[in-house]
Structure formats: structure tokens, C-alpha cells
């Protein structure tokens, strides 16, 4: 798929950058000076432009806000120790977004449109990428239907946009999670593998209930048997039992996480035993009881590695090994940071230089 669209650029007259301490901002609250937008109509991508960050001109009948034809991505740009800016595995986000677009009956985004829009935007707003140790620029590409019409049908018009927000640490502390047995995130044949808005909307109420009980996140189970772990919040989940790294195999109910892939690639390179398969609650609880459960953690773009120090299940709390003893996930966290900061060789060619 090709796209030869020229990107028209209108720069902001006054940067907002000096209004913020970008090394110390809450996650997802402030946005950079510019945004990228592309418009789809008449069966093709027709326009692409970068303009000062602003609002969506929209009708109250805009189809995506009624019927949820909307998907998004989450990725990051990092500043290395020499001041260079690079993206982490952006083509993986592009590919995943297009798989989602197909499932949600939306137009795919040509690689050039995605990559050129992304590169131009981040180049323009490069000063917004925090240089701090745990800082990054969180980038949100998203695609949504824009027909002005009531009635459930595939929209004829869409917008693809990219906005960006400086970010620090996602979780300031290790987290406690609740194994959820009444509500489910995704079902077989559904859209669990897609970053579709509705997946997140349906998770909010169960997450609120879990938070009221003192947990930060939910650890979802499969909806068919209620026995196997799926994922947690906006993270895939991993376990170290004995000397084996285990994670639920991806399926149509689990997001194919890019951090997950990266962690597994490093584990394999380090010669660790890696198992991608169904992981049952029973086997993890048994490992906990016999002392072989060494580490439990979430992996995702926003948090990178989120250490899980407690699991609630069937009314009981299970305390997990201290974070300081977790050799594998601590080494992964440090290695990913070193690759992003340009301190060690990027053997897998994960970083894509912007400027």
C-alpha cells in the first residue's frame, strides 16, 4: 500500500513548551505544540497535515462516539544521552493498528502515511521529549469514524491523527492486582486483540470496584473457563517460576504487546527458558505455595515493567517476593532503558532515529 500525500505543515505561532516542566508532568495530561491529521473520504486517504494541537471539529452525530468505530495505538519516543531522539519499534505499532483496522472495518493506513506523519510530527516537537531517566514522549496515533449519521453502519469517512504527550513514570510504586472472576475483558471471536476504544470502556467499572478494594489493577481471566490468566490493565503479564519465564500466548482475546515481544526476545537471547502458553491460576498459586514463584510483572509501553507485589484471589491476598530480589525483570527494565538511552548496542535494531 502506498501513499504519496504531501503533508502540509502549519507551525504554531507560540510554543507552550516553556509553560511546563516536561520532566515532571502527570501521565497523559499535557500535549505538544502540534498534531498530525489525515482524512479519509471517497475510498482513499485524501489529505494530510500538521497543525497546532487543538480540538476535533465534529458533529454530535459523529458515528464513532455512538458506535465505537475507533482504535488507537500507544508508542514512545526517547531522548538518548547525546540528545538524539528515537522511536521504539514504530512499525510494530503500524502493523498492529492495521490488523485492528481490518477487524473494525476501517481503512488501513499506508506505511508511508503513518511513518511520514509520525516522523515529521516528532521532529517538529522534538524539544518536548524529556531527557530524564524515566522520561519519554508518549505518542498516541488513533483512527476514528467521522460520518455524520445515526444508524449502525460502516462509516464512509475517517480521520487518522497523532498527538503526543510528555511522560514520566506511569506507576510510582509496585502494584497490587485483583484476579477478576465476575467480569471479563474480552471473549473469543471478539476484539480483545485490538486496541479498540470499547475494550477500555468496558474495563473501567470492574477496575473501579477493584480500586475501591485497594488494588491498582485487574488481572483478567479467560471468559470461557475462568482458569487462565490473560492480561492486566494496559499490560501483558509475565511470571518467573523456577528459571522459566512464562506468559499467556497471544490469542484473539489478548493484545499482542510490543513490550511483551521485546522482553521475550531478550530472555531468549540470554538463554532463559521461555514459555508462551496458557498459564493457569492454579499453577501460579501452587508455585507461590511451594516457593518457586519468583516474579510477577506487567509489561507495556506506558509502564515498561510494572512490578506486581500482591495478588488478590477469591477473597485472599497473596504477597509476592520483594522487588529487589527479582533478577530477571530488573535486568530487563535496565536493559530496555539502556537500549533507549543509547548506552548499549541496539542488537535487534529496535530504535528508529528521528533526529
DSSP state of 132: S
Q: Residue 141 or 288: which CB sits closer to ligand PLP?
A: 141
**Residue 137, interface with ligand PLP (CB under 6 A)?**
no
**At closest approach, how far in Å is the CB of 259 from ligand PLP?**
3
**At closest approach, how far in Å is the CB of 207 from ligand PLP?**
12
> Which residues have CB under 8 Å from 289's CB, separation 6+?
none
Identify which range of 24-32, 131-139, 155-163, 227-235 contacts ligand PLP by CB under 6 A: 227-235
d(CA 259, CA 6): 32
Binding mask 17-56 for ligand PLP (x = CB under 6 A): ----------------------------------------
CA dist list (Å): 282 to 33, 177, 193, 222, 286:
49, 16, 25, 14, 6
**Residue 255, interface with ligand PLP (CB under 6 A)?**
yes
Q: Residue 52 or 174: which CB sits closer to ligand PLP?
A: 174
d(CA 45, CA 118): 16
d(CA 71, CA 104): 8
> Could you tell me the three cell numbers for 54?
487543538
- Do 16 and 33 form a contact (C-beta atoms < 8 A)? yes
**At closest approach, how far in Å is the CB of 87 from ligand PLP?**
13
Instruction: Pick the binder of ligand PLP from 259, 281, 296, 326 (CB under 6 A).
Output: 259
C-alpha dihedral, 335 to 338 to 343 to 346, nearest 10°: 60
**Which single residue is written with the C-alpha cell 489529505?**
47
Q: Residue 47 or 140: which CB sits closer to ligand PLP?
A: 140
Site for ligand PLP in 277-306 (CB under 6 A): 300-301
> Which residues have CB under 8 Å from 349's CB, separation 6+?
none
Identify which range of 53-61, 152-160, 242-250, 258-266 contacts ligand PLP by CB under 6 A: 258-266
DSSP state of 249: P
Q: What is the CA radius of gyration of the chain?
A: 21
Instruction: Pick the binder of ligand PLP from 22, 50, 118, 235 (CB under 6 A).
Output: 235
Identify which range of 34-42, 127-135, 233-241, 287-295 contacts ligand PLP by CB under 6 A: 233-241
> Could you tell me the three cell numbers for 280?
493457569
Please choose, from the candidates 33, 79, 87, the residue with its C-alpha nearest in 3D space to the C-alpha of residue 354.
Answer: 87
Site for ligand PLP in 178-197 (CB under 6 A): 195
Binding mask 57-96 for ligand PLP (x = CB under 6 A): -----------------x----------------------
**Residue 217, interface with ligand PLP (CB under 6 A)?**
no
List interacting residues with ligand PLP (CB under 6 A): 74, 195, 231, 234-236, 255, 257-260, 300-301
Amino acid at each position: 500500500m502506498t501513499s504519496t500525500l504531501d503533508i502540509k505543515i502549519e507551525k504554531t505561532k507560540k510554543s507552550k513548551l516553556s509553560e511546563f516542566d516536561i520532566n515532571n508532568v502527570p501521565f497523559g495530561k499535557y500535549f505538544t505544540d502540534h498534531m498530525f491529521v489525515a482524512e479519509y473520504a471517497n475510498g482513499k486517504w485524501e489529505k494530510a497535515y500538521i497543525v497546532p494541537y487543538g480540538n476535533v471539529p465534529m458533529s454530535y452525530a459523529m458515528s464513532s462516539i455512538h458506535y465505537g468505530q475507533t482504535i488507537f495505538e500507544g508508542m514512545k519516543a526517547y531522548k538518548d544521552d547525546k540528545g538524539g531522539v528515537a522511536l521504539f519499534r514504530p512499525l510494530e505499532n503500524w502493523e498492529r493498528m492495521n490488523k485492528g483496522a481490518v477487524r473494525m472495518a476501517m481503512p488501513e493506513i499506508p506505511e508511508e502515511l503513518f511513518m511520514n506523519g509520525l516522523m515529521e510530527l516528532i521532529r517538529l516537537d522534538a524539544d518536548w521529549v524529556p531527557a530524564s531517566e524515566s522520561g519519554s514522549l508518549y505518542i498516541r496515533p488513533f483512527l476514528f469514524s467521522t460520518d455524520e449519521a445515526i444508524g449502525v453502519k460502516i462509516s464512509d469517512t475517517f480521520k487518522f491523527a497523532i498527538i503526543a504527550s510528555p511522560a514520566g513514570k506511569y506507576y510510582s510504586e509496585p502494584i497490587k492486582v485483583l484476579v477478576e472472576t465476575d467480569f471479563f475483558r474480552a471473549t473469543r471471536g471478539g476484539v480483545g486483540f485490538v486496541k479498540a476504544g470499547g475494550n477500555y470502556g468496558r474495563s473501567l467499572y470492574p477496575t473501579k470496584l477493584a480500586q475501591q478494594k485497594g488494588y491498582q489493577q485487574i488481572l483478567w481471566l479467560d471468559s470461557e473457563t475462568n482458569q487462565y490468566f490473560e492480561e492486566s490493565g494496559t499490560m501483558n503479564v509475565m511470571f518467573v517460576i523456577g528459571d522459566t519465564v512464562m506468559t499467556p500466548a497471544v490469542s484473539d482475546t489478548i493484545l499482542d504487546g510490543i513490550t511483551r515481544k521485546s522482553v521475550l526476545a531478550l530472555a531468549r537471547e540470554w538463554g532463559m527458558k521461555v514459555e508462551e502458553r496458557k498459564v493457569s491460576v492454579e499453577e501460579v498459586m501452587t508455585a507461590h505455595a511451594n516457593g518457586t514463584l519468583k516474579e510477577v510483572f506487567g509489561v507495556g509501553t506506558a509502564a515498561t515493567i510494572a512490578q506486581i507485589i500482591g495478588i488478590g484471589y477469591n477473597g485472599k491476598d497473596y504477597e509476592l517476593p520483594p522487588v529487589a530480589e527479582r533478577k530477571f525483570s530488573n535486568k530487563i527494565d535496565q536493559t530496555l532503558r539502556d537500549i533507549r538511552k543509547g548506552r548499549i548496542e541496539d542488537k535487534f535494531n529496535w530504535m528508529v532515529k528521528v533526529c
